[in-house]
Amino acid sequence: MNRRQLLTALGISSLALSFKGRSYISNKPIKKPIVLSTWYNQSVTANSPAWKILYRNGTALDAVEAGVQVSENDLENCCVGLGGNPDRDGIVTLDACLMDHQFQIGSVAALEQIKNPIQIARLVMEKTPHVMLVGQGAQQFALQNGFKLEGLQLSDHAQKTYQEWLKKSEYHPIINIEKTHGPSAPLSPESNEYNHDTIGMIALDIHGNLSGACTTSGMGFKMRGRVGDSPIIGAGLYVDNEVGAATATGQGEEVIRICGSFLVVEFMRQGYSPEQACKKAVERIRNKTPRNTKDLQVGFIALNKKGEYGAYALHKNFDFGVTSGNGETLKVDSPFILTS
Q: Which is nearer to ligand SD4, 79 or 124 (CB)?
A: 79
Report which DSSP code applies to 270.
T
Residue 249 contacts ligand SD4 per CB under 6 A: yes
Nearest-5° angle of CA 63, CA 155, CA 97?
30
Residue 229 contacts ligand SD4 per CB under 6 A: yes
Q: Under rule CB under 6 A, which residues in 154-173 are in contact with ligand SD4?
A: none
Distance, in Å, from the CA atom of 41 to the CA atom of 197, rounded to the nearest integer, reads: 9
Binding segment toward ligand SD4, per CB under 6 A, in 59-67, 117-125, 214-222, 258-266 = 214-222
Would you say 100 and 118 are in contact if contact means Cβ atoms under 8 Å apart? no
End-to-end CA distance of the chain: 55
Q: Which of 250, 260, 271, 321 forms a contact with ligand SD4 (CB under 6 A)?
A: 250
Q: Which is nearer to ligand SD4, 251 or 324 (CB)?
A: 251
Q: Which is nearer to ligand SD4, 222 or 280 (CB)?
A: 222
Q: Which of 25, 219, 314, 332 forms a contact with ligand SD4 (CB under 6 A)?
A: 219
Residue 218 contacts ligand SD4 per CB under 6 A: yes
Tell me how crowded residue 11 is: count the other CB atoms within 10 A of its CB: 13
Residue 79 contacts ligand SD4 per CB under 6 A: yes
CA distances, 188 to each of 165, 170, 223, 326 (Å): 9, 13, 19, 37
Beta bridge partners of 109: 134
Q: Which is nearer to ligand SD4, 195 or 329 (CB)?
A: 195
Binding segment toward ligand SD4, per CB under 6 A, in 20-28, 155-163, 212-220, 313-321 = 212-220
Q: Which of 252, 271, 274, 321 forms a contact with ligand SD4 (CB under 6 A)?
A: 252
Q: Under rule CB under 6 A, which residues in 40-69 are in contact with ligand SD4?
A: none
Angle between helices 117-127 and 135-144 (to 10 degrees): 80
Distance, in Å, from the CA atom of 326 to the CA atom of 143, rounded to the nearest integer, reads: 40
To the query of whether residue 215 is one of the catalytic residues in this protein, the response is no
Q: Under rule CB under 6 A, which residues in 187-206 are in contact with ligand SD4?
A: 196-198
Residue 107 contacts ligand SD4 per CB under 6 A: no
**CB proximity list for 6: less than 8 A, separation 6 or greater:** none
Q: Which is nearer to ligand SD4, 36 or 54 (CB)?
A: 36
Quote the least distance from Cβ 198 to ligand SD4, whole Å. Answer: 3
Quote the least distance from Cβ 10 to ligand SD4, whole Å. Answer: 39
Catalytic entry in 198, 215, 293, 323: 198
Distance, in Å, from the CA atom of 260 to the CA atom of 267, rounded to the nearest integer, reads: 11
Torsion angle, alpha carbons of 259, 263, 266, 271, to 10: 180
Would you say 97 and 111 are in contact if contact means Cβ atoms under 8 Å apart? no
Q: Which is nearer to ligand SD4, 209 or 230 (CB)?
A: 230
Q: Which of 223, 159, 164, 153 has the alpha carbon at shortest distance from 188?
A: 164
Q: Which is nearer to ligand SD4, 72 or 229 (CB)?
A: 229
Quote the least distance from Cβ 142 to ligand SD4, whole Å. Answer: 20
Quote the least distance from Cβ 59 to ligand SD4, whole Å. Answer: 25
Peptide bond connecting 231 to the previous residue in cis, omega within 30 degrees of 0: no
Indicate which residues carry an active-site annotation: 198
Residues that bind ligand SD4 (CB under 6 A): 79, 196-198, 216, 218-219, 228-230, 249-252
